[in-house]
Amino acid sequence: MKKITFIVAALLGVASFAQVQFTANPGEGVSVPNSNSLADCSKMETSADVTNGFGNTAGNEVADNFVVAQNEIFTINRTTVRLITTAGNVYPSVTVRFYEGAGTFPNTRVLVERVIVPTSQDVVATLNGGALEALEVVLDFATPVVINGVSTGPSNFWISVFTPTTAAASNFLQTLDETADTTRAAFRSGTDATAAWANTFNGGMTLQFAAYFIMEGDCSTLGVDENKLSQISVYPNPVTDVLKIKTPSSVEITSASIYDVLGKNTSVKVLNNEINVSGLSRGIYILNLETSAGKLTRKIVKQ
């Protein structure tokens, strides 16, 4: 395994959006070094200059895309963001979500969600006469987030953050211009899972491409069996009646179990790669598959 760091772009928005430019407090510099040492295989879309921000992050989540290489497993252990907030404010928690999505926007369904108490929140700059502070917020995952690439080529994923627990009046994410990234950040309500994604606001203004956003972890190459597992698809999801499982011709399903959020086996059966879930109550379930290529787990939403 090799250490990997991804740095990607993101922007945050609120109901009344604000793109702001900050001024340095007298005697305080606004150019600060990246405190994280970057690994050999790192990707960067960032700047050390804390001069621009976009917000407010307390009500909306913002997502930006990142790419996992062909046949790669990306195991994410840490995410770091720079948030500009009312002086003296700290964040009780930050919500981080991951999505699939090959196009302009993420998919609606959340792939993984983590609500994290920050490991550290260091002031890296004071702004606007001391009224605001730029915090480098480090978020460590107690359980790593595993993103699996596929054998057919690079895969596009998205990461988002929002800060619903803060009581501060001002909450911005450090932003910057970045022309190398051709996919704009996207935003939506952080509390409405059915809300549509967008990248324009205030009558046609567009989000910038970049903001300070780091993902760190390990990357490794999928083995033969892992390649086969990555090609298994479970659909539709959300599901109403029948859940279908599509596998490569060389993979056989040996057993399937669906558990509710309390860990109770629902005792549904798989027949011809289909599972009838019409009798289950609405909610979130965990599908455990055992196949000739290994075990696979998926989150299922029953409507």
Residues 149 and 77 in one domain: yes
Residues 248 and 282 in one domain: yes
Nearest to 71 by CA among 151, 134, 168: 151
Residues 173 and 37 in one domain: yes
pTM: predicted TM-score of the whole model, two decimal places: 0.67
Between CA 145 and CA 232 the distance in angstroms is 19
Helix (H) or strand (E) holding 117: none
Residues 50 and 195 in one domain: yes
Return per-residue pLDDT of the chain as tens, 303 residues.
Answer: 333 344 444 433 333 455 555 554 433 334 444 444 434 345 556 677 777 777 778 988 888 888 888 878 888 888 999 999 999 999 999 999 999 988 899 998 888 999 999 999 999 989 888 999 999 999 999 988 888 887 778 888 998 989 999 989 888 877 776 656 678 888 899 999 899 998 888 778 887 777 788 888 887 776 666 667 778 889 998 899 999 999 888 888 988 999 887 788 999 989 889 999 999 999 889 898 888 888 888 888 898
Nearest to 173 by CA among 132, 119, 112: 132
Count structural domains, the chain. Answer: 2
Contacts of 275 (CB under 8 A, 6+ apart): 242, 243, 245, 256, 258, 268, 269, 287
Residues 16 and 93 in one domain: yes
Residues 280 and 217 in one domain: no
Residues 298 and 235 in one domain: yes
Q: What is the span of the domain harbouring residue 293?
A: 224-302
**Of 205, 221, 237, which marks where a domain is finished?**
221
Residues 106 and 233 in one domain: no
Query: What's CA 265's distance to the chain center, in Å?
Result: 29
Neighbour-count burial of 269, counting CB atoms closer than 10 A to its CB (0-12 exposed, 13-18 middle, 19+ buried): exposed
Instruction: Give me the pLDDT at residue 45, please.
Output: 61
Residues 108 and 253 in one domain: no
- Average pLDDT over the chain reads 80
**Of 195, 221, 247, which marks where a domain is finished?**
221
**Of 221, 241, 275, which marks where a domain is finished?**
221
Q: What is the pLDDT of residues 188-241, one digit of tens each?
A: 999 998 999 988 887 788 877 777 888 888 877 766 666 677 788 899 988 999
Residues 111 and 57 in one domain: yes
For residue 275, what is the domain's CATH number? 2.60.40.3780
Instruction: Give me the pLDDT at residue 71, please.
Output: 76
Residues 192 and 242 in one domain: no
- Residue pair 297/288 in contact (Cβ under 8 Å)? The answer is yes
Between CA 75 and CA 92 the distance in angstroms is 25
Residues 75 and 135 in one domain: yes
Q: Contacts for 30-36 with beta carbons within 8 Å, 24 or more apart?
A: 30/125, 30/127, 32/124, 32/125, 32/134, 35/122, 35/124, 35/136, 36/5, 36/80, 36/214, 36/216
